[in-house]
Amino acid sequence: MIDPNFTPWGPFISPQYKQEPITNSDITIASVVWGLTILNACIALCMAVNQTRSSRAPWRSVYIWMIWVELVVSFAMGMECYFHLLKLIRPSELHTFAPLAHALIQPRFRILLLNP
């Protein structure tokens, strides 16, 4: 069902933007995937805590920072997509920049790991 009050916003929205209807099966599938994402995040959180504790200097370790930043950013992007399907976040082109920022940040961590 299309909600007429659910209007797009932002400077990058095309005038030809058209909402796609979100069905109950879309929400059901997204909820199952979101539940699996939360489970995966909990497992990753336990592993991150263990690796942080085993590090000699976790505040100075780029590897530890990469783990935590990746975990937080990935979880936030998944939550943003799920909230958009539930129509808690209005359509915008600004959320498309999150994967771009993620792609730009991640190679820098790899470079830092290769050149300590």
**pLDDT bracket for residue 103 (50, 70, 90):** low
Q: Could you tell me how many residues make up the chain?
A: 116
Higher pLDDT, 45 or 95: 45
What confidence score (pLDDT) does residue 102 get?
53
Q: What is the dihedral of CA 100, 46, 33, 68, to 10 degrees?
A: -10
Whether the pTM exceeds 0.85: the reply is no
- Cα dihedral across residues 96, 98, 99, 103: positive or negative: positive
d(CA 20, CA 8): 12
Per-residue pLDDT reduced to its tens digit, 75-93? 888 888 888 888 887 776 5
Q: Give the pair of three-digit tokens for residue 48.
A: 């991150």
**pLDDT bracket for residue 45 (50, 70, 90):** very high
Over 50: is that where the pLDDT of 52 sits?
Answer: yes
